[in-house]
Structure 1
Amino acid sequence: MAVDPYLLRELLSAVILFFITRYFIASLVRRSTRTLPPGPKGWPVVGALPLLGSMPHVTLAKLAQKYGPVMHLKMGTCDMVVASTPDAARAFLKTLDLNFSNRPPNAGATHLAYNSQDMVFADYGPRWKLLRKLSNLHMLGGKALEDWTQVRAVELGHMVRAMCESSRKGEPVVVPEMLTYAMANMIGQVILSRRVFVTKGSESNEFKDMVVELMTSAGIFNIGDFIPSIAWMDLQGIEGEMKKLHKRWDALLTKMMQEHAETAPQRKGKPDFLDVIMANTDNSEAEKLSLTNVKALLLNLFTAGTDTSSSVIEWALAEMMKNPSILNKAHEEMDKVIGRDRRLEESDIPKLAYLQAICKETFRKHPSTPLNLPRVSTQACEINGYYIPKDTRLSVNIWAIGRDPQVWENPLDFTPERFLSGKNAKIDPRGNDFELIPFGAGRRICAGTRMGIVLVEYILGTLVHSFEWMIPNGTELNMDDTFGLALQKAVPLSAMVRPRLTPTAYLS
């Protein structure tokens, strides 16, 4: 029986049309179920960018109260999600950690971090793993930190004696300048086998200014990052300033490396961190480090290693000066455990529960990084029933989590006692308890988490144990902050100090 060609063509067309229609409808159904998380509509073209203002961490916290713990914002041409509660942070940084292990492209990574050749902004892959491994083994890990215990003690000795001299002269101590000077020298001893600054003065103050400028500029929401087609216009002038700052940093790092190379014979058999890193530029393994990688890593260590810990210590001292009863209680604990005949030692810290509680309370209320460094989704995913597209930027509002009244009782109060008993007693800031994640969590948790905690506890403990702290006459204690990658005090803390130990305790 012959088949009518016309009928056959019609049947085939109908079948094809059926499957096309079915696929199209199914696609529409899938799209309709792909609901983005709630969030503000924003403006045409620029999206929610104008809504953020000068204090994005505060604005995003307020928006989260309206739109929920997982919030979507259209930022220019980019999608961004913000996690604002411990559960939301856990979902992104633990459950979906691998999918959010990369950084989105941004001007800071390009112009400051040698085009993402560093550890902070590098893609999650072999080079990042090598940089992280070397840093942990030789500087940031537990064994490495033990190896340079004496370096920290010596540099703190220099600092407390300088503070005694300021006290004798009746001069106030500018806390962030003092801390940056001491911490840069600690890091310099480990990386370069020498103090970076022999005397405190214009050179160390310029270094502090460069660190603050880098942290501030890298934290700004740059329009060009979210609307790449107009990035060349540099509407905010940010990229131009970044390029100038990069030249200053590159000149400083180049000088450090040249001077270090000239003294290589003196370190024969006793390699420092830079010697170890440089050895990995010549190895025969598949993954090698370039000189640019080395410079970029040094930039990470000198900036994040000084500024983040310094800001936490400064905030802790300011809170104790504002609440003298807390300072007195810390003194009482230290006098009982240590006495006044010697300086605090790192081995004393496990016995100082109240000091550790003060540090945790500062991490909670004044996290050094208010918004975690942005991550970006490798693939589309779902969270809490919401659809998260591929290439969506993730921001975890660590500042908001620390001030969430659903998590913390009276969150605006500075109350170290909250960590001494009850449900918060075992909370730890190392990235496993999402109520307190000042260093982030997951694969991209801050590489210097362990070092940061050691520096904050030891330096803050030494400063509290060694001195009485007072607000200079005729001044007021300003507790305002200013936004950046690190949460700086808007007005640097200036204080009068008075030694409280026996004179011989300051000689070591």
Structure 2
Amino acid sequence: MDLLTYIFFAFLFIHIFKHIFNILTQKNHPPSPFAVPIIGHLHLLKPPLHKTLTSLSHHHGPVLHLKLGLRNALVLSSPSAIEEFFNTNDIVFANRPHALAGLHLGYNYTSLPWTPYGHHWRTLKRVTTINIFSSHSLSLSSRIRNEEIKHLVERLNVGFDESRAFKKLDLKSVFLELMFNVMMRFSTGKRFFEVGMDGDEKKRLIDTLTKILVPNTKMGLGDFFPLLTWFKFLKLDQKLIDLHKKRDDFLQSLINKHRNHDPSISTNDTTLMGTLLSLQKSEPEYYTEDILKGIISMMFTAGTDTTALTMEWAMSLLLNHPEVMAKAREEIDSKLQRKNILEESDLANLPYLTCIVNEALRLYPPGPLLVPHASSAECTVGGYRVPKGTIVMGNAWAIHRDPRLWEDPTEFRPERFAAGGEGHLGHGGYKFVPFGVGRRGCPGAGMAVRVAGLGLGALIQGFEWERVGGELVDMSEGSGSPTMSKLRPLEAMYRPRSL
């Protein structure tokens, strides 16, 4: 027999042994579909995964147990389950699962998104909160976001004559370009996409940055069958190794340029890079190159594609509901009188615009399945036995569209998040969880909502929008095709420009 046959029988023996052991020691597991030997429920996981898991939860309940190869997993699809696991038992589930992505892209589990709960996590959380996500830090960095929004509006104004004929626009590329510029300026003081860069060059750069900084890193065979990673010839983690090399080289180049005072980036100590290098200078043993790169990587990975996707969904919804866009423009005009381009400080006076962002996040959360947690010890939650190391996923998409929680849940109704609306109290009731909850909830939620509101508001304020061809924008998930629209400057906001 060849080596692969020996491996197969070895795994079969291990699985049968564990199955018999589990039967003999089984306590009270959550409901579960029928599992196939060895692979468990992996054969049931069809894309889009959040919809498949929603269907399974409809049959088996809001706490669903799955066997993913040799790993235990729970899927939570109700606010009460989210609260009990991620709030009441927050510390037990404050870890991340061991996965090859955390090993390679998380710098051996030392970056904030991947590191286990403990002293190191608390230190990184404190550093990022103080320097990035606190109210004071967000106020200081608002200048960058305001300037990038103005830069975007001015760029979109280019090429129109006094007739202001409609032009086509790829929303996906526009929002990705905006977010990469925002994060790059915040981190290093310079943009990725400067004036004068042609369309093809921008497209190539967006494609490269997306592949390196925001790739699809779903769990794979090596995560579900960890023993397979011992057999190096299988190269189960080769793609992650290659990706890590490219990302690491890119991040290291940013650090080196700052140290060497390269004119292509700012060497101002007020940038995130300057702050991190100052910390490294004071505590070089702790703030290693990998720690710095992990923090910068987190900003790009978690803060670009997710917010760009939220704005794309929101604008698509507005294109399909022009009456909502008209109401948002009326609110902006009444508060700003068209004097200047919307700024972040104006958002507090634009509650309906915030409702639009929240409703887009409800219908199309950027992470339909919340970032997985893992149990640090065996425990009992809701009467169910949860083994140590169990992967726990919250199905935000299912909760956000549950008809028992939301009236007409598939309809786009921003008013539901207004004061007194059904969504207004949902923020504290765990039925609205686009950024997760608990200690491992997304620390950048405040920044994401600000950027999305600012970007949408400025585009509504300055431009008239239409659908391409008059047909409704395709709101199906997973198509991967760019969202095309048509725009022209509103007459009151139009100024002939050339960049």
Residue 198 of structure 1 corresponds to which residue in structure 2? 194
Secondary structure at the residue paired with 2:138? helix
Match of 1:490 in 2: 480
Looking at structure 1, the residues matched to 88 and 294 of structure 2 have their Cα atoms a distance apart, in angstroms, of 30
SS of residue paired to 2:424: coil
Matches of 2:429 and 2:201 in 1, distance apart? 40
Question: Which residue identity lines up with residue 344 of structure 1 in the other structure?
Answer: L
In structure 2, the CA distance between the partners of 1:264 and 1:140, relative to structure 1 (3 Å rule), is farther
CA distance 1:492–1:237, change in 2 (3 Å): farther
State the Cα distance separating 1:166 from its structure 2 match.
5.4
Match among 324, 327, 332 for residue 330 of structure 2: 332
* Letter of the structure 2 residue corresponding to residue 272 of structure 1: T
Q: Which AA in structure 2 matches 1:42?
A: A
Q: What pairs up with 1:402-481 in 2 under 5 angstroms?
A: 402-424=400-422, 426-427=424-425, 429=427, 432-473=428-469, 477-481=473-477
Percentage identity across paired residues of the two chains: 30
Question: Shift of the alpha carbon at 1:245?
Answer: 2.5
Change (3 A) 1:158 1:269: closer
Give the gaps of 5 or more residues in structure 2: 1-20
Q: Which has the larger radius of gyration?
A: 1
2:172 matched to which residue of 1?
176
TM-score (norm 1): 0.85
Give RMSD over aligned pairs: 2.9
Cα distance in 2, alignment partners of residues 236 and 311 from structure 1 = 35
Supply the AA of the counterpart residue of 1:229: L
**Structure 2 vs 1, CA of residues 258 and 204 (structure 1 numbering), >3 Å: closer, same or farther?**
farther
Query: Per-residue deviation at 1:184?
Result: 1.8
1:271 shift after superposition: 3.4
Q: Distance in 2 between matches of 1:403 and 1:335?
A: 32
Distance 2:370 2:209 in 1: 18
Confirm or deny that 1:315 pairs with 2:313: yes
Deviation for aligned residue 1:270: 4.3
Alignment of 1:114-263 (within 5 A): 114-165=107-158, 171-199=167-195, 200=197, 201-202=199-200, 204-210=202-208, 212-213=210-211, 215-218=214-217, 220-231=218-229, 239-263=237-261
Check the 8 A contact 2:312/2:483 in 1, yes or no.
Answer: yes
- Gapped regions of structure 1 (runs ≥ 5): 1-26, 483-488
Q: How big is the shift at 1:233?
A: 6.7
**Separation of aligned partners in 1, 2:233 and 2:59:** 31
- Equivalent position SS for 1:99: coil
Deviation at residue 491 of structure 1 after TM alignment: 1.8
- Structure 1 pair 425–38 and aligned structure 2 pair: CA distance change class (3 A): closer
Task: Deviation per CA, 1:317-348: give whole Å up to 9, x if none.
Answer: 00111122211221222222222332212222
Q: Which stretch of the first structure deviates more once superposed, 454-463 or 196-205?
A: 196-205
For the Cα contact (< 8 Å) 1:140–1:448, is it kept in 2?
yes
- Structure 1 residues 80-133: Cα deviation after superposition (integer angstroms, max 9, x where no partner): 011111110011110111001111111222232322231111111222222221
1:264 Cα deviation from its structure 2 partner = 8.2
- Distance between the aligned counterparts of 1:317 and 1:295, measured in 2? 33
Give the deviation of 1:503 after TM superposition. 4.0
The Cα offsets for residues 196-238 of structure 1, whole Å up to 9 and x where unpaired, read as: 33245555434533454454521x2412101112246799987
Contact 2:221 2:236 in 1 (8 A): no
Aligned to 2:17: none
Deviations for 1:47-75, whole angstroms, at most 9, x for unmatched residues?
11111112111100111111111110011
Conserved 8 A contact 2:188-2:266: no
Equivalent position SS for 2:435: coil
Which range moved further: 109-118 or 498-507? 498-507
Among 387, 396, 399, the alignment partner of 1:398 is 396
Alignment of structure 1 residues 261-410 onto 2, 5 Å: 261-263=259-261, 270-284=269-283, 288-410=286-408
Change (3 A) 1:239 1:496: farther
Runs of 4+ in 1 over 6 A off after TM superposition: 27-30, 233-238, 264-269, 504-508
Q: 1:353-384 CA distances to partner (integer Å, 9 max, x unpaired)?
A: 21111111111111011111111101111122
Letter in 2 for 1:88: A
The C-alpha deviation readout for 1:364-407, integer Å capped at 9, x for no partner, is 11101111111110111112211111111111111111111111
Name the aligned partner's letter for residue 118 of structure 2. G
Deviation larger for 261-270 or 331-340: 261-270
TM-score (normalised: structure 2): 0.87
- Going from structure 1 to structure 2, the CA distance change for 1:354 and 1:77 (only over 3 Å counts) comes to same
Distance 2:339 2:496 in 1: 9
